[in-house]
Structure 1
Amino acid sequence: MNSSSASSYTLFDHLLELRSRLLNVVVGVLIVFLGLFYFANEIYEYVSKPLMETLPEGGQMIATDVASSFFAPFKLTMVLSIFIAMPFILYQIWAFVAPGLYKNEKRLVIPLMFGSTLLFYSGIAFVYYVVFPIIFAFFTSVAPEGVNIATDITSYLDFVLKLFFAFGVVFEIPIVIILLCWTGFTDPASLRAKRPYVVVGAFVVGMLLTPPDIISQTLLAVPMLLLFELGVFIASIYQKKNESEEA
């Protein structure tokens, strides 16, 4: 702890503080959810738009379960509420750990929280506006002749949520690099030396997360490489600043 008041906290005090922060998170997400629930069907229609625009004439989405027409939009709205409340959630996390941080650590944590939120949203926007139109056009174009494409709304939701989460996490690469360098686990020079392996790894990940065509793989691999370079660049600036302060 960096102060006598913080160090005087007992375990029970920390548990009470943790409970308070968790309750704040639950209430915040619930408020957002209540504001969005009325528009649940419209939200689902918007998320399904990339697929609907690529379906051939006569193609449609179906609900194979009796209650899926209700639960699919409900689930999507709940997940969206968590995504929208992410800045508030991250603030509650920061407020809980802040008393145990030193002053220089606090200066780094706040930009990291803001950057991680922005990058996570950027990953979701990228997969929705860039990746979805390409992969759905590919999937619908390779359907055998005479096959009527009718995607189940629950299966579609599970698929897009997985990609939303995957790309949101992938776009956190700069934050991960900065944290690794900050903790001393690695340094920018070592990461630059491993650049050839990073290039190969980026295209492997692109191959696993996208359809088997070079365009889709490149659409994911190139942003990953750019984010890697951005993380190394920021970590280098932070390292030089620390060295100058120590000198």
Structure 2
Amino acid sequence: MKPGKPAEMPFLEHLEELRVRLMWSLGALVIAVGFAFYFLFTNDDFILDFLARPIHPYLAGGKLAVFHPAAAFKIIMNLSLILGTILASPVIVWHLWGFLSPALYTHEKKVVIPVLMMAVVLFLAGCALSWFVVLPLTLKVFAGIQAASLQPVYGFSEYFGFAVGMSVALGAAFELPTVILLLSLLGLVTPSMLHRFRRFAVVGSLVLGAFITPGTDPFTLLLIAVPLYGLYEMSVILSALVHRWRKRKDAEASGGRA
């Protein structure tokens, strides 16, 4: 076997390893969800107050409404699933990596881990920006355009779905550098291509910023558009680094054959 070549394993052994790793991952998820449920059930006031903080200034009576007898239990269960999945994710990723890594070359393994870490950091950064900046500004704008003849009543489930959806959407938008990096590694994107589309990136960042943050305040628009465009420039730099790395590898391969 050549150095760095993926190890080979019979098909049935692959299935057995997959079964064992799935069982470990499922067990970790069940334990984490159970722990999260206990924690949330015993600290529900603190957790729910924290989650409702962005919308608290716009609530009649200072509390979110529920529209079903089992709503509070369903809310805690949904939060337990989310928190439990986050807590169990290191174990799940570890077993996923343990199953996939034998099929990768050594140089591929060196790329996967940094890319995965970058993806996690960027996603969390996008979610944090949404939760602490974009969501409060959006709620403020929506509260300001309520008709005087209407009494807004916000349900926790509707609010939580809106807040999480916005956070996940901005977190996904922050994955642009990761996507460009992977496409560059595959040779589908080049730095020159990204340079040509730079003006469209500026317009796209402004349009997306205006869509995410309703209202006419230019400062709020720039607060979102500038980081989005910064991610595009980060993508250009990463693509250029990958392009140089690929050229060096090709030169080394050509020299080795000469």
Percent of aligned positions with the same letter in both sequences?
29
TM-score (norm. length: structure 2): 0.84
- Please report how far the alpha carbon of residue 60 of structure 1 lies from its aligned counterpart in structure 2 after TM superposition: 3.2
- Structure 1's 81 and 39: CA in aligned 2 closer, same or farther, altered over 3 A? same
- Please report how far the alpha carbon of residue 215 of structure 1 lies from its aligned counterpart in structure 2 after TM superposition: 4.5
Task: Tell me the equivalent position of 1:187.
Answer: 190
Question: Which residue identity lines up with residue 238 of structure 1 in the other structure?
Answer: V
Contact 2:36 2:80 in 1 (8 A): yes
1:92 equivalent to 2:95? Answer: yes
- Please report how far the alpha carbon of residue 175 of structure 1 lies from its aligned counterpart in structure 2 after TM superposition: 0.7
SS at 2:64 equivalent: strand
Deviations 1:76-105 (A, max 9, x none): 231132234434433333222211111111
Deviations 1:165-195 (A, max 9, x none): 2122111111111000001111122112111
Distance 2:235 2:25 in 1: 29
- Structure 1's 57 and 158: CA in aligned 2 closer, same or farther, altered over 3 A? closer
Contact 2:35 2:84 in 1 (8 A): no
- Please report how far the alpha carbon of residue 200 of structure 1 lies from its aligned counterpart in structure 2 after TM superposition: 2.2
Contact 2:59 2:154 in 1 (8 A): no
Q: 1:74 aligns with which of 73, 77, 86?
A: 77
- Structure 1's 50 and 199: CA in aligned 2 closer, same or farther, altered over 3 A? same
Structure 2, unmatched stretches of 5+, are 252-258
- Please report how far the alpha carbon of residue 23 of structure 1 lies from its aligned counterpart in structure 2 after TM superposition: 2.8
- Structure 1's 215 and 161: CA in aligned 2 closer, same or farther, altered over 3 A? same
- Please report how far the alpha carbon of residue 5 of structure 1 lies from its aligned counterpart in structure 2 after TM superposition: 7.3
Structure 1, unmatched stretches of 5+, are none
1:45 equivalent to 2:49? Answer: yes
Distance 1:215 1:19 in 2: 52
- Structure 1's 23 and 169: CA in aligned 2 closer, same or farther, altered over 3 A? farther
Contact 1:60 1:150 in 2 (8 A): no
Task: Tell me the equivalent position of 1:152.
Answer: 155
Distance 2:179 2:207 in 1: 19
145-154 or 158-167: which moved more?
145-154
Task: Tell me the equivalent position of 1:7.
Answer: 8
Deviations 1:149-169 (A, max 9, x none): 320111112111211221221
- Please report how far the alpha carbon of residue 206 of structure 1 lies from its aligned counterpart in structure 2 after TM superposition: 2.9
Contact 1:206 1:220 in 2 (8 A): yes
Distance 2:17 2:198 in 1: 43
Q: 1:125 aligns with which of 120, 128, 148?
A: 128
Contact 1:120 1:172 in 2 (8 A): yes
Q: How does 1:199-218 map to 2 (within 5 A)?
A: 199-213=202-216, 214-218=218-222
Task: Tell me the equivalent position of 1:221.
Answer: 225
- Structure 1's 4 and 128: CA in aligned 2 closer, same or farther, altered over 3 A? closer
Task: Tell me the equivalent position of 1:135.
Answer: 138
- Structure 1's 203 and 84: CA in aligned 2 closer, same or farther, altered over 3 A? farther
- Name the Cα RMSD after superposition: 2.4
Q: How many residues align?
A: 245
Deviations 1:128-147 (A, max 9, x none): 11111111111112212253
Distance 1:112 1:4 in 2: 21
Contact 1:44 1:76 in 2 (8 A): no
Distance 2:209 2:91 in 1: 31
Distance 1:9 1:229 in 2: 45
